[in-house]
Amino acid sequence: MEAENIIKLFNVSPNSEDNDIKENYKKMDSLLSTGSEKADLLEKYLLVSTKEKRYLYFLTSLQGFSDISELDSEIISRPNYIGPRQWLELLE
Amino acid sequence: MTKNKTKNGQNLEKLLTLAPGSLEYITLRSELKKHLIDPGMFEKSNLANDELKNEARIIMDAFEAITNGMQNPDVFSFVEAISKDSILYFWKELIFAIKAFYEKNYEEMHSRLLSIDSESPLSIFRPILFYLSGKSAEVISNKKQKAFIENIIKDRSFIRSVIAQITESLEYDMEDLFLETSILMIHDLNRNYKEAARKFAIWTLETASTYKYSPTSIVSSCKKLFGNTEAYRITAIAMSKEEIDISLLFWLQSLLSGLKSMNFEIHEAGAYLTVISRIAGKVENSSDNFYLESLSGLIATIKFELITRFPGKLENNNQQIKQFSDNPFEELIYLSAVYSSLEENDIRLKAVKAKSLPVVEIVKTPFVSNVKSNKSVPVQLSLFD
């Protein structure tokens, strides 16, 4: 898993407070049943448990496309973002 | 606030005048929850309390973010806190359903959509998102809904043609065409795909480096689009494979730019210095005087900014830093140990200290004496101008 995705996994941003990510970690941990899942989650948590670690992961997690064809597969196969207005129009 | 803001004309004003917690309030809230169309109405209402206004603002911000593809984890953590009792609960579920749809997490999308009451106007999105995710083959016949679906899955032929043009420009070694088309693409991607725009910018810089094309115009465009701190970080990442020493300069330039911004925290400085220290530990030496002058100039400016921004740390270790000031790479490793709380920086510093008289050896080399003489004058590469 990419480091930035670990930050997303815990639903925080780099400048979130350490307590918030700890709380989210505890909630997620309580939902897991197996030891290996818990160990995996703990490992991820420890990678982003402090603000400095989160900034470090944020700084280093971004990687470029290894080939231009990745741009094709990443963008063309993904749905478009069309903004809130078009979504709300369906409610009118 | 008007009655027609709810699908069946329910009067929300009545709800807002009732005592929260009363049986009538709870009953009416439960009913109105199913018919709410516009969360924004609470924000404008004089009758809504601060909690409801705040929830409405959170919902609107999150809805705008998710439909525009903006990454904002803080917004979503606020939405997550909205309770099942809230009149905005179905909006919360819709927002997370849309988020899950774009993340291709269709199980999550499915359960979120099912938790929206069938009577709610928001349930209109259920068959549409099921169709878009391939969870349902049911044909959508409504004209408006069909147009909506087409916009979501619209073919990006423009992107395909640009990719073909970039590939061709490399094949025929046409530098200008490559640079112009790539920059155009970065701008276009950045409108809707912020992450992809950065990934593509890195690829463009790496490719330019491989083909010996000038990266200046790409870096300039990145600065305009992403700001200096981010543009330098992107360039540093791009240079990290082929030109690690140049990458180090860009990391330093990114740190310097960050230090000059308003909200730069010491944790962020520590993280930057950790990345920089890792690279400094790998590069260790250079015989290029121009490079070393640039490096030493940047370090001098950064030290000044660090002392100004986070007073007390470096000044208290004045004697120690002199021990490393003859070797810019070791000086960076030392700075990381001062400003970072991560153990790896202390380990690297101990390794530097354990070397047998490294400073004396390095002082004898010509480039170090050159660095020393220019230490107080920051020198920057023209790429940074």
In this predicted model, which residue has the larger pLDDT, A33 or B190?
A: B190
Instruction: Encode pLDDT of B333-356 as tens digits.
Output: 999 999 999 999 999 999 988 874
Q: Are the CB atoms for B166 and B181 separated by under 8 Å?
A: yes
CA-to-CA distance for B211 and B90, rounded, in angstroms?
A: 53
Which of B199-203, B286-290, B373-377 tops mean pLDDT? Answer: B199-203
CA nearest to B248, candidates B286, B216, B304: B286
Partner residue facing B275 (CB), from A20, A56, A89: A56
Q: Is the pLDDT of residue B361 over 60?
A: no
CB pairs under 8 A between A and B: 150
A16 touching B (Cβ < 8 Å): yes
Please tell me the predicted confidence (pLDDT) of residue B63.
94
pLDDT over threshold 70, residue B359: no
Is A76 close to B156, i.e. CB distance below 8 A?
Answer: yes
Q: Considering only CA atoms, give the Rg of chain B.
A: 28
Q: Give pLDDT, residue B159.
A: 82
pLDDT attached to residue B244: 93
Query: Mind listing the pLDDT tens digit for each residue in B40-89?
Result: 888 777 777 788 888 889 999 999 999 988 767 678 888 988 888 888 99
Residue B379 has pLDDT above 50, yes or no: no
- At B128, is the pLDDT very low, low, confident or very high (cuts 50, 70, 90)? very high
Helix (H) or strand (E) holding B352, with range, is helix B343-354
A52 chain-B contacts, CB cut-off 8 A: 267-268, 270-271, 274, 340-342
Confirm if B5 and B16 have CB atoms less than 8 A apart.
no
Q: Which is nearest to A89 in space by CA: B49, B152, B254, B1? A: B152
Report domain extents, chain B.
3-153, 155-226, 241-385
Pair of tokens at residue B15: 């709800």
Q: Which of B96, B240, B127, B214 minimizes the C-alpha distance to A62?
A: B240
Euclidean distance between CA atoms B36 and B6, whole angstroms? 5
- C-alpha separations of B104 from A9, A82, B205 in Å: 14, 17, 30
User: Residue B98 has which token pair?
Assistant: 């849309």
What's the pLDDT at B362?
38
Q: What is the pLDDT at residue B134?
A: 86
CB-based contact, A51 to chain B, within 8 Å: yes
B306 pLDDT band, cuts 50/70/90, is: very high
Nearest to B376 by CA among B294, B309, B297, B291: B297
Tokens representing B295? 């490096």
Residue B319's pLDDT is 67
Whole-angstrom Cα distance, residue B52 to residue B75? 16
Q: How far is CA B76 from CA B95, B102, B213, in A?
A: 9, 14, 42
The number of helices, as runs of H, and strands, as runs of E, in chain A is: 6, 0
ipTM over 0.90: no
Q: Which of A74, A81, A85, A86 to mutate to test the interface with B (most CBs of B within 10 A)?
A: A81
Q: Which of B344, B24, B230 is nearest to B238 (CA)?
A: B230
Q: What is the per-residue pLDDT for B313?
A: 81
> How far, in Å, CA of B38 to CA of B1, rounded?
11
- Cβ-nearest to A8 among B67, B73, B263: B73
Confidence check: pLDDT of A1 > 50: no
Residue B46 has phi, psi (to 5 degrees) of: -80, -15
Instruction: Report the predicted TM-score, pTM, of the whole model to 2 decimal places.
Output: 0.67
B342–A52 CB contact, under 8 Å: yes
Q: HEC profile for B308-354?
A: HHCCCCCHHHHHHHHHHCCCHHHHHHHHHHHHCCCHHHHHHHHHHHH
CB contact, 8 Å: A38 with chain B? no
User: Are A81 and B101 within 8 A, CB to CB?
Assistant: no
pLDDT value at residue B384: 59
C-alpha–C-alpha distance, residues B95 and B230, integer Å: 29
Q: How confident is the model at residue B365 (pLDDT cuts 50, 70, 90)?
A: very low
Give mean pLDDT, residues B168-180.
97
Which residue, B317, B215, B310, B225, is CA-closest to B272? B310
* Paired tokens of B225: 């689009």
Who contacts B199 (Cβ-Cβ below 8 Å, separation ≥6)? A62, A63, A64, A65, A70, A71, A74
Q: Do B67 and A55 count as a contact with CB atoms less than 8 A apart?
A: no
Range name among A80-84, B252-256, B294-298, B346-350 with the lowest pLDDT average: A80-84
Q: Is the pLDDT of residue B3 over 60?
A: no
More confident call, B23 vs B174: B174
Segment B161-167 shows an average pLDDT of: 91
- Whose tokens are 């354990």? That residue is B354
Please report residues of A whose CB lies closer than 8 A to that of B265: 15, 51, 55
CA–CA min distance B356, chain A (Å): 31
**A8 CA: distance to closest CA in chain B (Å):** 7
Which candidate, B96, B21, B11, B28, places its Cα nearest to that of B51?
B21
Mean pLDDT of B33-42: 82
Query: If you count them, how many residues does chain A have?
Result: 92
Within chain A, what is the greatest distance between any pair of CA atoms?
49
Collapsed DSSP state (helix, strand, coil) of residue B6: strand
Split at pLDDT 50, 70, 90, the class of B287 is confident
List the single best residue of B70, B156, B242 to mutate versus A (max A Cβ within 10 A).
B156
- Contact of A52 with chain B, judged by CB distance below 8 Å, is answered with yes
Residues B159, A75: C-beta atoms closer than 8 Å:
yes
B123, pLDDT greater than 70: yes
Closest-CA distance of chain A to residue B166, Å: 9
Which residues in B lie closer than 8 A to residue A51 (C-beta atoms)? 265, 267
The DSSP line for B90-148 is HHHHHHHHHHHHHTT-HHHHHHHHHTS-TTSGGGGHHHHHHHHTTS--PPP--HHHHHH
Mean pLDDT across the stretch B301-328? 82
Quickly count: other Cβ atoms within 10 Å of residue B352's Cβ.
22
Tokens 């995996």 found at: A40
Nearest to A46 by CA among A15, A18, A27: A18
**The tokens 């925080």 sit on which residue?**
A12
Name the residue in chain A with its Cα closest to that of B74.
Answer: A12
Cα angle value A56/A62/A68 (rounded, 5°): 165
